[in-house]
Amino acid sequence: MEKILVVDDEENIRLLYQEELEEEGYTVEVAAHGQEALDKLKTFRPDLITLDIRMPGMDGVETLQRIREVQRDVPVILCSAYGEYKQDLTTWASDAYVIKTSDLTELKGAIKTLLSRD
Amino acid sequence: MTSFRYRERQVSGDIMREKDRQANQLALLYEINNALLSTMKFEQILQIILTAITIGDGMGFNRAMLFLVDERKNCLTGMMGVGPENAEEAGNIWENMKGKGNGLAENLSTLSRNSSPQGTYLDKRVKKVMVPLDREGCILARTVREQRPFNIDPERDSVMCQNDCELSRELDCVLGSKSKDGDPAYRFATVPLWGRERTIGVIVVDNVYNGHPITEDDIQLLTMFTRQAGLAIENCILYKYLEDAHVELKKVQETLLQREKLAALGEMAASVAHEIKNPLVSIGGFTRRLHKTLSNGLPEKKYTETIMREVHRLEGILSDILNFSKASDVVVEKYDVNGIVEETLTGMEEQLRSQGIEVEKSLGANLPEVPCDYRQIKQVFVNLFSNARDAMRDGGTMKVRTFPLAQDGSDYVGIEIGDTGGGIPSTVLHNIFNPFFTTKGWGTGLGLAICHRIVEGHRGAIDVNNEPGRGVTFTVKLPVEGKVDVALF
């Protein structure tokens, strides 16, 4: 069973993602900020990470860089309220960029594609 | 003794008359000058000048025509003609002029405000005339070249015009010869119009109807007058330059203000929208989960559907706002505008048809390709088509036209989108490109603001032609040789 780490500072979003993704059959853990995500990386060893960009403290883009330093090959999906960071070159280090909506079809599709790649 | 006295009295009588005449001339010039000072409008100045020359209380010539030097083309161009069309009309006018009683200055300025020579036979003819300044033998051209008046009386002078010049053809006066057998000889005079440093034009006068000879006194008075008239015209032209420059500046300032306003608004909108987006995702997301657990047929299922639909709508509005306020990727390549139009139309065909809207397409063949961001230009068309659609809730016709366009030395592709939706109330027309302005009662009011910004970013222009009661036509112009200003997005 593939493991997904959901990183988002909003509790309700974490809960929504967790429930929806668990329903799809994944094992899901959540982290409320970048540091927690880096900690969980070692213990939980996820197969895929969804990462919110706008977070207080260490933001998603910085967290992404730190994740890449530790674990180069884990697929990361950046999630954001809108396309603001799309032309920010540092986001290109992610494997997908999904704009948050209440309809998670696009996110689930991206997860499926990335996990079936390897 | 007696005879001496008599002679003396006669001489002093002559002097008195001469003094009187001079006083009258000065008073006349003063009156006309007052009238000239009453306006800065070019057409009105010309009209006052020519009316002063022809009005009975003024200099009383039958007709007066004004030509100005066009330095670029090196020619004289007819600007205005004032005078009756025929002898009968001339009689009527002179009759009406008599006994009006008001001061001349007042008469002149009222006249120039209330009646315009535009469209009269003479004026139309004069406006067609163009005389090259280097034309040999032409009295008009010589007046400018030699900077002196000409008083032509064919019975006295040997100075002849070239036959069959524009003037004689257009104005039915064969200058320097008899116009018709039996008519009095055609007499006319020309005086140069002096500006500060150069001759700016010529005034032509004639007595084509009453055949009165033109005296040296007449010429002298006319010359004195045209010195003032020339300066008035030159002032007026300078003033117009200034005014144009002022209008231009004001436009630039408004554009800058608009941009600043947009930027500030954009920032605010982005942060508000961002704060709203996350809770909205939760509301919508959990409603979807709830919805899945409800079995079909339950009334609650309808409720969740409503929430989902409304959340979806809100998300759409938010993405409008966020796209507007934040930059997105710009990919500039050369595209065939017709292709973008067609694709946009295909996507909307069903909606348009179901609303009873007929699409009239006339897409120009062989249009040059235009450098643009495909996605953005498509957005412009989507917004304009949607506006047309929304304006025609009860059906109508949407006209879409594309065409090549040359303007100010540059090539453009023009795209025209017209509807029959009754137009925009003229009281709000100036607002339509402002963000968050809408007359629809729904939507974000960002559609046209987005169009405006995108087209501006492409260094194009978007214009609106509003016909209240009928419909609106938007025209987008995109430059063929353009650099897209990415900084604007």
* pLDDT digits 0-9 by tens, B172-215: 544 444 444 455 567 788 999 988 888 999 999 988 777 788 88
| 3-state secondary structure (DSSP) of residue B21 | helix
Give the helix ranges, DSSP H, for B294-373.
299-325, 337-354
Cα–Cα distance between A92 and A46 in angstroms, integer?
A: 20
Residue in chain B nearest A87 by alpha carbon: B329
Select the residue of A19, A100, A102 nearest B311 (Cβ to Cβ): A102
Residue B322 has its nearest CB partner, among A10, A82, A102, at A82
With bands split at pLDDT 50, 70 and 90, how would you rate the model's confidence at A92? low
Closest residue, chain A, to B325 (C-alpha): A84
Chain A residues with beta carbon closer than 8 angstroms to that of B311:
102
Residues of B in contact with A80 (CB under 8 A): none
Give the per-residue pLDDT at B283. 95
Place of tokens 């990462």: A51
HEC profile of chain B? CHHHHHHHHHHHHHHHHHHHHHHHHHHHHHHHHHHHHCCCCHHHHHHHHHHHHHCCCCCCCCEEEEEEEECCCCEEEEEEEECCCCHHHHHHHHHHHCCCCCCHHHHHHHHHHHCCCCCCHHHHHHHHCEEECCCCCCHHHHHHHHCCCEEECCCCCCCCCCCCCHHHHHHCCCCCCCCCCCCCCCCEEEEEEECCCCEEEEEEEECCCCCCCCCHHHHHHHHHHHHHHHHHHHHHHHHHHHHHHHHHHHHHHHHHHHHHHHHHHHHHHHHHHHHHHHHHHHHHHHHHHHHHHCCCCCHHHHHHHHHHHHHHHHHHHHHHHHHHHCCCCCCEEEECHHHHHHHHHHHHHHHHHHCCEEEEEEECCCCCCEEEEHHHHHHHHHHHHHHHHHHCCCCEEEEEEEEEEEECCEEEEEEEEECCCCCCCCCCHHHCCCCCCCCCCCCCCCHHHHHHHHHHHCCCEEEEEEECCCEEEEEEEEECCCCCCHHHC
Are B281 and A102 in contact (CB < 8 Å)?
yes
pLDDT of residue B177: 43
> Does residue A15 contact residue A57 with C-beta atoms inside 8 Å?
no
> Does A87 sit within 8 Å of B327, measured CB to CB?
yes
A83 pLDDT band (50/70/90 cuts)?
Answer: low
Say if B127 is an interface residue toward chain A (CB within 8 Å): no
Whose tokens are 């339509």? That residue is B432
The answer to whether B323 contacts A12, with C-beta atoms less than 8 Å apart, is no
> Which of B270, B282, B323 is nearest residue A13 as measured by Cβ atoms?
B282
CB B52, CB B35: distance < 8 Å: yes
The label of the residue with tokens 């997105």 reads: B328
Nearest to A48 by CA among A106, A112, A92: A112
Give the residue from B227, B205, B184 showing the smallest Cα distance to B55.
B205
Q: Which pLDDT does position B55 carry in this prediction? A: 78
Q: Which residue ranges of chain B lie beneath pLDDT 50?
A: 99-101, 173-181, 486-489
Domain A3-117 has CATH 3.40.50.2300: yes
Q: Min CA distance, A30 vs chain B (Å)?
A: 16
Helices B2-37, B104-114: inter-axial angle, 10-degree rounding: 40
- Cβ–Cβ of B312/A102 closer than 8 Å? yes
Any B CB within 8 A of A13 CB: yes
Chain A residues close to B312, C-beta within 8 Å: 102-103
Q: How far apart are alpha carbons B399 and B19 in whole angstroms?
A: 73
Domain boundaries, chain B: 329-489
Interface of B with A in 288-307 (CB under 8 A): 288-289
User: What does pTM read for this prediction?
Assistant: 0.47
Which of A86, A87, A102 shows the shortest C-beta gap to B285?
A: A102
User: Which of these, B76, B93, B176, B180, lies nearest to B127 by C-alpha position?
Assistant: B76
How confident is the model at residue A111, as a pLDDT? Answer: 94
The strand pairing partners of B357, in sequence order, are B396
**What is the pairing mode between strands B63-70 and B199-206?**
antiparallel
Cβ neighbours of B352 (radius 10 Å): 20
Q: How high does pLDDT run on average in chain A? A: 87
What is the structure's pLDDT at B488?
44
CB contact under 8 A, A20 and B289: yes
Q: What is the pLDDT of residue A58?
A: 87
Across the interface, whether the CB atoms of B281 and A87 are under 8 A apart is answered: no
Of the candidate CATH numbers 3.40.250.10, 3.30.565.10, 1.20.140.10, 3.40.1260.10, the domain formed by B329-489 belongs to: 3.30.565.10
